[in-house]
Amino acid sequence: MAAAAAAAAARRALGGAGARAGGWAAAPAGPAAPGWPLLPAAAAAAGAGPGGARGRKGGPGRQVQGYTPPAQMLRAAPEQGRMQVEVASPGLLAEPYRGEPPPLPWSALFTRSGWQTRWGRWIGSLRSMYTLARCTRDIPGFGLHDFKIEASGLYRGLNELIAAGDKPAMRRLVTEKMYSLLKKEVQQREQGGWHRVDWGMKQLPEPKDISVVQGRLIQADESDQSLAFAQLTCRIQSRQTCAVYGKGGKLVSGEPGVEVEVVDHWVFERLLKRPSAKWSVAARLPPFPAL
């Protein structure tokens, strides 16, 4: 009986793991991603809006009441003489990652707000566990080790394309919302006189260098699980080189050949229950203050 009651409590707690219909929340805007000077504003989370424009009072990350998924989310695509529904990215983050929370003081054990904070953190951990469980169930062959290898390749590949300013190739690796942000920032970079960017990474981040710090589901319709997206936020450590040259080959930023330690937080998104779907980059989050 106790086990059944605990399972029921967990199911109730996880009711918010996937954003309900009308429950998508926008990510907050933020400063540039650490260690990447090329795109001053593109480091803001994809889909960001001032204070979470659609959210309730209290800022971004809250659920939106009465929100209808955008019409462009569902697109009809012909395949072998029939119409197939193609599900596009929602262009929003279910819940933006806020960084590692600081440890609670002992006094939090004796206050209502302290226990509320503990409860919120526990629910957040359950949601991440549930998201990973859904990935394991709904994505053929899913495993954290293989996912980290794929995320590492996406991380390096997208950084290379951003440095090269290859917008058509970038589009294949990111969501539509993220692409619109990156395209705009690359254009601003070019207009600002940055004519060439030499970016490098001697070694791909290994699985041990990548941590999945948060998992969330975003779902347009709770009754139709084929419309659920998984969003995994990853902390990625790497060593990179970057040198930016202006007109005439003048160095305007960075130091050629000098490696710097970089810690980024990227959000990878994938449609569940669709074997042909692939992971794509949905956001590059702003840096978090050190604890």
- Local structure of 30: helix, strand or coil: coil
Domain range 99-284, its CATH number among 3.10.450.240, 3.40.50.1220, 3.40.1280.10, 3.40.50.150: 3.10.450.240
At residue 224, the pLDDT reads: 76
Rounded to whole angstroms, the Cα distance separating 45 from 269 reads 13
pLDDT tens series, the chain, 291 aa:
444 444 444 444 444 433 333 333 333 333 333 333 333 333 333 333 333 333 333 333 333 333 344 444 444 444 444 445 567 888 899 999 999 989 999 998 899 999 999 999 999 999 999 999 999 999 999 999 999 999 999 999 999 999 999 999 999 999 999 999 999 989 988 888 888 999 999 889 999 999 999 999 998 777 777 789 999 999 999 999 999 999 888 998 888 989 999 999 999 999 998 889 999 999 999 988 765
At residue 290, the pLDDT reads: 63
Q: Could you report how far apart the first and last alpha carbons of the chain are, in Å? A: 41
To 10 degrees, what angle do helices 2-13 and 112-138 make? Answer: 90
Kindly state the tokens that stand for 245: 């040259």
At residue 180, the pLDDT reads: 95
Count of CB atoms within 10 A of residue 109's CB?
A: 10
Taking a C-beta distance cutoff of 8 angstroms, is the pair 231, 215 a contact?
yes
At residue 86, the pLDDT reads: 65
At residue 181, the pLDDT reads: 94
H or E element that contains 182: helix 176-191
Question: Which one-letter DSSP state was computed for residue 92?
Answer: S
The contacts of residue 12 (CB under 8 Å, 6+ apart) are none
At residue 70, the pLDDT reads: 44
Rounded to whole angstroms, the Cα distance separating 88 from 175 reads 8
- Local structure of 256: helix, strand or coil: strand
Which regions of 139-274 does DSSP assign to beta strands (E)?
196-200, 210-219, 228-245, 251-271
The contacts of residue 44 (CB under 8 Å, 6+ apart) are 27, 28, 29, 30, 31, 181, 284, 286
- Local structure of 77: helix, strand or coil: strand
Taking a C-beta distance cutoff of 8 angstroms, is the pair 25, 48 a contact?
no
**Which of 101, 29, 18, 30 is closest to 63 using CA atoms?**
18
Residue type, 8: A
Find the length of the chain.
Answer: 291
Rounded to whole angstroms, the Cα distance separating 264 from 237 reads 7
Rounded to whole angstroms, the Cα distance separating 167 from 181 reads 11
Is 0.85 topped by the overall pTM? Answer: no
Domain spans of the chain, in order of start: 99-284
